[in-house]
């Protein structure tokens, strides 16, 4: 059965001195190698719009047997602009960055203490520049708060509020949402839908299949520990359903 795969990245760079070891960094060299691999192996690297077409049965992989792959970058770190985008551009690959509406231009306030590192987030100026250059932006909420504990107006503010800010700043429709910490429940997903997003992305591990619920899309995370073989394995062999069974 055909499936597509949405990859999740966080930082493309090296952890600064003093940072607690954590797996969210992929080195620029490893990232370039991974993109080279996608190209050499003939994957169809596509935008999230094309993943939606696949879910809705409106498109098939252009080359049979070659998966659709979409690239997503959570949190909107400055290193996306410094280290990822130039590589993505050189390969002509689409990419979506999930930014935090109230923190753009600031720092990772949600985990700077636990990681002992302050990471710069893309400013609105850089976001606008990258958008002009072809990068796609989407929402990761207002403040990077767990949403399943919120209800009513507080939930709406995170979901609809961040959409409104991004749409105003970027002067375009914002179609996609990514749950902070991958934390969602039925009410959260409903709020995302009611706010007019086309789809929302989770941290549930797995592939995307036709007719999947667009508000609970699974992804596959690429981390510092993902070596070249593991990367190739995830792209060629990994099945979301098998992964769920193995849990």
Given the rule CB under 5 A, which residues bind Zn ion?
A: 74-75
Supply the minimum distance, in Å, between the C-beta of residue 87 and Zn ion.
21
Residue 59 or 221 having the CB closest to Zn ion: 221
Residue 123 or 146 having the CB closest to Zn ion: 146
Supply the minimum distance, in Å, between the C-beta of residue 155 and Zn ion.
17
Residue 193: DSSP 8-state = H
Round to whole Å and give the CA distance between 71 and 220. 10
Supply the minimum distance, in Å, between the C-beta of residue 74 and Zn ion.
4
Residue 54 or 73 having the CB closest to Zn ion: 73
Round to whole Å and give the CA distance between 185 and 179. 10
Count H helices and E strands in the chain, helices first. 11, 10
Distance of alpha carbon 200 from the chain centroid: 10
Supply the minimum distance, in Å, between the C-beta of residue 9 and Zn ion.
11
Supply the minimum distance, in Å, between the C-beta of residue 124 and Zn ion.
18
Supply the minimum distance, in Å, between the C-beta of residue 140 and Zn ion.
6
Q: What is the torsion angle, in degrees rounded to the nearest 10, for the CA atoms of residue 142, residue 146, residue 149 and residue 155? A: 20
Check: CB of residue 209 under 8 Å from CB of residue 238: no
Check: CB of residue 175 under 8 Å from CB of residue 190: no
Residue 112 or 242 having the CB closest to Zn ion: 112
Cβ neighbourhood burial of 66 (10 Å; 0-12, 13-18, 19+): middle
Backbone φ, ψ for residue 207 (5° rounding): -95, 175
Residue 247: DSSP 8-state = -
**How many of the other CB atoms lie within 10 Å of CB of 32?**
18
Residue 74 or 158 having the CB closest to Zn ion: 74
Residue 75 or 158 having the CB closest to Zn ion: 75
């Amino acid at each position: 059965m055909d499936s597509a795969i949405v990859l999740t990245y966080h930082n493309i760079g090296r952890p600064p001195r003093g940072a607690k070891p954590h797996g969210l960094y992929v080195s620029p060299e490893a990232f370039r190698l991974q993109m080279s691999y996608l190209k050499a192996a003939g994957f169809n690297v596509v935008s999230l719009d094309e993943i939606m077409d696949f879910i809705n049965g409106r498109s098939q992989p252009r080359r049979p047997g070659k998966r659709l792959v979409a690239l997503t970058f959570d949190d909107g770190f400055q290193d996306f602009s410094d280290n990822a985008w130039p590589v993505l551009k050189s390969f002509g690959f689409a990419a979506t960055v999930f930014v935090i509406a109230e923190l753009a231009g600031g720092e990772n306030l949600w985990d700077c203490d636990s990681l002992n590192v302050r990471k710069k987030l893309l400013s609105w100026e850089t976001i606008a520049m990258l958008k002009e250059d072809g990068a796609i932006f989407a929402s990761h909420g207002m403040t990077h708060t767990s949403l399943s504990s919120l209800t009513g107006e507080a939930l709406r503010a995170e979901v609809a509020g961040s959409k409104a800010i991004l749409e105003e700043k970027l002067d375009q429709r914002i179609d996609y949402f990514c749950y902070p910490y991958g934390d969602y429940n039925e009410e959260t997903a409903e709020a995302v839908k009611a706010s007019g997003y086309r789809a929302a992305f989770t941290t549930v591990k797995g592939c995307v299949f036709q007719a999947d619920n667009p508000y609970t899309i699974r992804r596959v995370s690429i981390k510092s520990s993902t070596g070249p073989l593991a990367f190739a394995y995830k792209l060629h062999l990994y099945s979301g359903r098998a992964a769920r069974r193995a849990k």
